[in-house]
Chains A and B, each alone.
Chain A
């Protein structure tokens, strides 16, 4: 008798708790600021809605701050980009969670909805970007037309900002030079080869396995040879499951790292003996996706940030970080590209390969089923 009463009480209280959990407090008044042309700032789709660049700068300065997320300072030179933006417009940039992954950015936008700390802009990997377009506010930057069609959404919901090729970075002081992926199986690399993350979780690691697959005769539709190679690597004792960070690289614990070329290039600035090589054959290219949060607490500053990133200055700053800016070809013909930095990028011999969304989904499924078994 007592037991059933206790059960009933527990169930009732659980229901009450759930009901309480569901209700949310009244929303504080929305930022209904309007521009001169009568368009709400949060819905402006181009610089014209602000009456020109000056109008946008003025509105952004009124916002005063910008929230960015998941932008480590040495990732494609974001440290300097943030500083340049802040100095140029006098806007304070709050850089949150530099070690976050793409999904973390979306989670943060949901978690902090309505707060002044919510992210204003996103820089996302392919899968996460294309799965969350409902969260983005469309905006076409001034240089929108100069960007090739395959790198943007026609409405400006998302635009690629920079990209790179998958590469192998290694410490030339500790290991012999690497030319091709098959070199990694040699005994000199015992316990030394690390991948940047788990390919079932991180886009960079996924592309790393794809690069290896391509070198072993696979294709974007067939990632199995890549998984096979890593299995062989593990059996040879060469594979290191540690997560490579600047600390592990600089202390010699991860002497060989498979990662994007601009990330490996950033290491060379800190550790002079670090070399970067894009293996011969088809090279896996990956671009990142830039978008504005629909619920951005600083909508004008967000749009100014995008204008800055896609301006000549912003694109050259990406280039200085070893990444390939999306407007590279157009700027090369126009002569506004930083030629020295462009020539310093790692040489890519083969044709670039970009993995489509469908190929990504199929390969992911294969990895989800087979990766842990191959590696574990």
Chain B
């Protein structure tokens, strides 16, 4: 148990308070404006009531939540095995994978939508016009963040020893990945999942330019009516996302580090592969 000195504790509290003020003050200012009664002065919850009374909003919420789930699943299915494989067997591909993952961030959504036109014509030809087809482009959008979160976690474990130990005990690749590696990089997976959900819930440009009715698109449409309602809508999305992720993190509380990690002695840092 690490001893925490009093000065260390005070420093921590001061820092937490400073960060808290910086992040929460603008949110408070938004809440303040959204409850202002412009016609008569004083406070009113009319802006928030406007949100709840909109029917199209519920359909949009469902679509966005489904999109978030599909995006996270597809992203993990594509990215985790790829990153593991690159570490273990194809280190020469590492730079390429990293660059490709970062590429989507360098191109503004405004421009990528134009290039997506033909691709999505094919997608809608095969899969129909549902908003769920946005999953594919959302996975691409999420790649930079997810890659970085997963990379941090994967670098921190001794992947080679773990996987060789598992395979020497007779496990196939699927078992190795699912039951040995994943529990050890769980923190990275959760981070990647959380940021992906936040990206999907907050994405507006591509959904709007392609004509789909997702949560953000609906919120902008509502927000066009008046100032307080638009601010209430933005604040509501933030709170919604926050509560959703908090609940998710509580639900996945049971996950601990895999027992394999305790059994395999972690080597000294000098033996870790570089980078």
Decide if A and B are genuine partners: yes
Q: Which residues of A contact B (CB under 8 A)?
A: 21-26, 28, 72-74, 79, 95-99, 104, 107-108, 110-112, 114-118, 245-251, 270-272
Interface-side segment among B19-27, B62-70, B111-119, B252-260: B111-119
Complex alpha-carbon distance, A72 and B220, angstroms: 10
Q: Among B38, B117, B210, B224, which residue has its beta carbon within 8 angstroms of that of A271?
A: B38
CB distance from A80 to the nearest CB of B (A): 12
- B129:A116 contact, CB within 8 angstroms: yes
Decide yes or no: A74 and B33 within 8 Å by CB, A21-B118, A111-B117 being known contacts: no
Complex alpha-carbon distance, A43 and B36, angstroms: 51
Whether B122 sits at the interface, judged by CB under 8 Å, is yes
Closest residue of chain A to B221 (Cβ to Cβ) is A98
Decide yes or no: A97 and B208 within 8 Å by CB, A245-B227, A246-B227 being known contacts: yes
Residues of B within 8 A of A249 (CB): 227
Q: Which residues of B contact A (CB under 8 A)?
A: 33, 36, 38-39, 113-115, 117-119, 121-122, 124-125, 129, 208-212, 220-221, 224-228, 230-231
Residues of B within 8 A of A110 (CB): 117
CB distance from B111 to the nearest CB of A (A): 12
27 pairs across A/B with beta carbons < 8 Å?
Answer: A21-B119, A24-B121, A24-B122, A25-B122, A25-B125, A72-B224, A73-B224, A73-B225, A97-B208, A98-B221, A99-B220, A99-B224, A107-B209, A110-B117, A111-B114, A112-B211, A114-B121, A115-B124, A115-B129, A115-B211, A117-B211, A246-B226, A247-B33, A247-B227, A247-B230, A251-B33, A272-B39
Complex alpha-carbon distance, A104 and B119, angstroms: 20
- A250:B117 contact, CB within 8 angstroms: no
Complex alpha-carbon distance, A112 and B212, angstroms: 11
Decide yes or no: A108 and B209 within 8 Å by CB, A24-B118, A24-B121 being known contacts: yes
CB distance from A110 to the nearest CB of B (A): 8
SS class, residues of chain A in contact with chain B: loop
Q: Taking A95-B221, A97-B208 as given, write out 6 further A-B residue pairs in contact, using a Cβ cutoff of 8 Å, ordered by the A residue number.
A: A24-B118, A24-B122, A98-B220, A246-B227, A250-B226, A270-B227
- B226:A270 contact, CB within 8 angstroms: yes
Complex alpha-carbon distance, A117 and B121, angstroms: 13
Closest residue of chain B to A119 (Cβ to Cβ) is B211
Residues of A within 8 A of B121 (CB): 24-25, 114
Q: Among A23, A74, A112, A251, which residue has its beta carbon within 8 angstroms of that of B118?
A: A23
- A111:B129 contact, CB within 8 angstroms: no
Q: Among B113, B124, B225, B227, which residue has its beta carbon within 8 angstroms of that of A79?
A: B225
- A248:B227 contact, CB within 8 angstroms: yes
Residues of B within 8 A of A248 (CB): 227
Closest residue of chain B to A79 (Cβ to Cβ) is B225
Residues of A within 8 A of B125 (CB): 25-26, 28
The 8 closest A-B pairs by CB, nearest first: A117-B211, A247-B227, A250-B227, A25-B125, A246-B227, A98-B224, A72-B224, A25-B122
- B211:A108 contact, CB within 8 angstroms: yes
